[in-house]
Amino acid sequence: MSQLLQNIATTISVGQFIDWADGKTLLTDNDAFDPSLISAVLYKNGVGQALTLAKSGSNAINLFGNNDGMASLVLTGLNVNTSGTLQISFSNAIIDGISSDYILPFSVSYDVNPYGHSIQHETIALDVSGADDFYPRITAIGANDGEISLTVEGDGAITVYGRQAGSYAWQVVGSAANDSSPVVIADLTAATMYEFYVTDESATPQPSNIVAFYLHDPSMPTVVEVEKWAAGRLAMLGVFKTADQWKHQLSATEGGLSNLDKYAPCAFVGEQPVQDVDREGGMALNHKVVLVVLLAQQSVKEGGAARLGNATTIGTAELRVLVIAALEKQCPGGNLGVGDFYYKGAQEIIDIPKQHGVKMLFEAERFV
């Protein structure tokens, strides 16, 4: 199944559009093409919502005119804001109680990737311009003093989009007129994770890979920065309502975790002091940093869904896998003196019919 990146607007190819009248003639003339005669429904994990099709606007649809019955369809970030299966059905519109009898019904399906490229620091390019060319693409090449330098490549004018990790809105933050132009993004907040991607003017437009960069703050204690870095990594997954440092947002009661409905699904990160300190030869300190990720989910109706998941809820069983993918063998960088983190295991902290939570441990060496 083809993949789309969660929360990133894109343009997809849909079809084939076949004339209802004879059941075989392909629709190819975009001037004669009438989207108002088509009913489109977008399903996010089985939950449907109508799309209003037109030749321009947020869900613009236009025939390519290549005699193949295929069309381009614009999807907004809101259309793809839910991870899992996305299906779009196309059928005849009902106008004044009568079917338009315009096309043969069909549907297309995609997998909306909740993390994919977003949790990678290295470039993962998309091949949209031929076997030897990968466009567009973006690489982070440096960060200091509130600035991040990016190298971008693509066809024609290149637009750079950026956001703080986990926030919904992408904004235009820069541009370049040609391949490999360095772009400097300034006035950024220190001790913050940022994400960037680019688009270009290639014949088959697609968003590039996403690069993430944590902006170091030398005035901040190392442990605090590591917590903020890890919380930023988890926010990038796009599956948590809340991903933050542990600030006692939740408390245990007889009925479960209080305030969980306000935050779930959530991941809170905090450092755990090391109890048993190892020493190497000559009694040299083998210093470790241990991060605790408190992972919790809540279901509204179905018992057990907080752990196992269902059509509308990502359970902690799957969330745990995503957290491991986000932090395993990842290094905070920024001259923090901390090595790669490794998953050390998990412990269940709550298991009631509509709430489930686990405490996950990650460990890294600290160089002092």
Specify whether 231 is located in the same domain as 206: no
Specify whether 129 is located in the same domain as 61: no
Specify whether 297 is located in the same domain as 259: yes
The token pair at 120 is 């990678």
Output the domain CATH number for residue 288: 3.30.2000.30
Backbone φ, ψ for residue 234 (5° rounding) = -70, -35
Output the domain CATH number for residue 8: 2.60.40
Can you give the residue range of the structural domain that contains 326?
222-365
Rounded to whole angstroms, how far apart are CA atoms 263 and 247?
13
Tens digits of pLDDT across the chain (368 residues): 577 777 777 889 999 999 999 999 999 999 999 999 999 999 988 889 999 999 998 899 999 988 899 999 999 878 887 877 899 999 999 999 999 999 999 999 988 865 433 333 322 222 222 323 445 667 656 555 667 777 777 777 888 888 887 776 778 888 887 665 678 887 777 778 888 888 877 665 567 767 777 777 777 778 888 898 899 888 888 788 899 999 999 888 877 888 898 998 999 999 988 766 666 666 666 678 899 999 999 987 788 889 988 877 888 998 998 899 889 888 886 567 788 899 999 999 999 999 999 999 999 888 76
Specify whether 354 is located in the same domain as 250: yes
Per-residue pLDDT at 257:
87
Specify whether 255 is located in the same domain as 335: yes
Structural domain total, the chain: 3
Specify whether 227 is located in the same domain as 291: yes
Per-residue pLDDT at 136:
66
Contact 16, 69 (CB under 8 A): yes
Per-residue pLDDT at 203:
61
Per-residue pLDDT at 69:
93
Specify whether 147 is located in the same domain as 236: no
Rounded to whole angstroms, how far apart are CA atoms 280 and 368?
14
Last residue of a domain, one of 174, 196, 215: 215
Contact 342, 327 (CB under 8 A): no
Bond preceding residue 16 cis, omega within 30 of 0: yes
Per-residue pLDDT at 87:
93
Last residue of a domain, one of 50, 81, 113: 113
Residue with tokens 């299966």: 85
Specify whether 142 is located in the same domain as 177: yes
One-character DSSP codes across 189-244: PSSEEEEEEEE---SS------EEEEE--TTS-HHHHHHHHHHHHHHTTS--SEEE
Per-residue pLDDT at 129:
29
Last residue of a domain, one of 161, 183, 215: 215
Per-residue pLDDT at 30:
95
Specify whether 285 is located in the same domain as 316: yes
The token pair at 27 is 């629709």
Residue 271, helix vs strand vs coil: strand
Specify whether 247 is located in the same domain as 130: no
